[in-house]
């Protein structure tokens, strides 16, 4: 019997369908469906609770799952915690969009989140006696960089911002993060990295630049669901 048999949560109800040890986690459930339809074979849907679609299939003969997580640290942290602790997932790879805040980043560039600074208070639950650094699993990061190099895809590797604020009343905040070398802003990675570290499993975030915040450049909603294929193909090779 698989680790998924007879297990469910209020948010994930697989009905006995296997959830693989490696899972891709886009924020948008429609991106999860696109990946399943486009890249996976022998696909079975394992979740549709709250329309947060999840699928398991094979990619180049290896079992892999993909599921949406929604937006923000609370949503990502809820789903990733359940995937880790209830369904036994060992490798969690966020694939998402981000807003660039450095001049050398452009639309469609790929970013590997080596670290994730944050303005979230999620870490307070651990009652740590100091500041915690949210970092990726080096094994996944190293493998992802190798895949990108083999595909001839240039990537940026560095620190990203996982912010609780999409609309921030402090309009100078991102300028100050930019001065600290933060590459881009998104909303989920820090929570994912904390959950993974606390549980002793692996996590990595791979992002595609969908907006340049300071230059006011942006891609379309449809492109965010279906056009960021380089990022998806790197992540799939990590299974």
Q: Domain of 227: which CATH number? A: 3.40.50.1580
* DSSP conformational letter for 227: T
> Which residues are tagged catalytic?
211
Residue 222 has pLDDT above 90, yes or no: no
The CA distances from residue 151 to 36, 144, 195, 232, in Å, are 21, 11, 30, 13
- Quick one: pLDDT at residue 6? 78
Q: Which residue has the tokens 């990733």?
A: 80
Does 15 or 227 have the greater pLDDT score?
15
Confidence of residue 227 (pLDDT cuts 50, 70, 90): confident
Residues paired with residue 54 on neighbouring β-strands, in sequence order: 47, 67
Residues paired with residue 97 on neighbouring β-strands, in sequence order: 208
Residue 4 has pLDDT above 80, yes or no: no
- Quick one: pLDDT at residue 5? 60
Establish if 43 belongs to a structural domain.
yes
Residue 223 has pLDDT above 90, yes or no: no
Residue 47 near residue 75, CB atoms below 8 Å: no
Tokens representing residue 2 in the block: 């698989």
Residue 44 belongs to domain spanning? 22-236
* DSSP conformational letter for 160: E
Confidence of residue 2 (pLDDT cuts 50, 70, 90): very low
What is the average pLDDT across 201-219? 97
Residue 1 has pLDDT above 70, yes or no: no
What is the average pLDDT across 167-180? 97
Establish if 4 belongs to a structural domain.
no
Q: What is the average pLDDT value for the chain, to the nearest integer?
A: 96
Rounded Cα distance, 131 and 239, in Å: 32
Establish if 70 belongs to a structural domain.
yes
Residue 57 has pLDDT above 50, yes or no: yes
- Quick one: pLDDT at residue 39? 98
- Quick one: pLDDT at residue 229? 95
- Rg (alpha carbons) of the chain, rounded to whole number: 17
Q: How many domains does the chain have?
A: 1
Residue 186 near residue 224, CB atoms below 8 Å: no
Establish if 169 belongs to a structural domain.
yes
Establish if 78 belongs to a structural domain.
yes
The predicted model scores a pTM of: 0.96
Rounded Cα distance, 69 and 220, in Å: 20
Residue 152 near residue 83, CB atoms below 8 Å: no
The percent of the chain in helix, strand and coil, each rounded to the nearest 5, is 35, 30, 40
Residue 91 has pLDDT above 70, yes or no: yes
Beta strands in 72-164 (DSSP E): 91-100, 110-118, 155-162
Establish if 3 belongs to a structural domain.
no
Residue 224 has pLDDT above 90, yes or no: no
What is the average pLDDT across 212-225? 90
What is the average pLDDT across 98-122? 98
Nearest-10 Cα torsion for 190, 191, 192, 196? 100
């Amino acid at each position: 019997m698989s680790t998924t048999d007879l297990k469910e949560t209020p948010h994930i109800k697989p009905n006995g369908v296997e959830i693989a040890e490696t899972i891709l986690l886009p924020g948008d459930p429609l991106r999860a469906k696109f990946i399943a339809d486009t890249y996976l074979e022998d696909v079975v849907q394992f979740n549709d609770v709250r329309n947060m679609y999840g699928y398991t299939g094979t990619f180049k003969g290896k079992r892999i799952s993909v599921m949406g997580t929604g937006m923000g640290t609370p949503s990502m942290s809820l789903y990733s915690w359940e995937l880790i602790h209830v369904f036994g997932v060992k490798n969690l790879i966020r694939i998402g969009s981000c807003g660039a805040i450095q001049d050398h980043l452009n639309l469609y560039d790929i970013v590997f989140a080596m670290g994730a600074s944050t303005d979230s208070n999620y870490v307070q639950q651990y009652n740590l006696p100091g500041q915690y650094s949210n970092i990726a699993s080096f094994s996944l990061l190293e493998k992802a960089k190798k895949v990108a190099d083999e595909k001839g895809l240039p990537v940026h590797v560095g620190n990203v911002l996982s912010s609780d604020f999409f609309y921030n009343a402090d309009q100078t905040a991102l300028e100050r993060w930019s001065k600290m070398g933060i590459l881009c802003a998104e909303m989920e990675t820090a929570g994912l990295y904390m959950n993974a570290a606390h549980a002793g499993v692996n996590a990595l975030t791979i992002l595609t630049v969908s907006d340049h915040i300071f230059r006011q450049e942006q891609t379309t909603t449809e492109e965010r669901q279906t056009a960021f294929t380089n990022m998806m193909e790197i992540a799939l090779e990590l299974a």
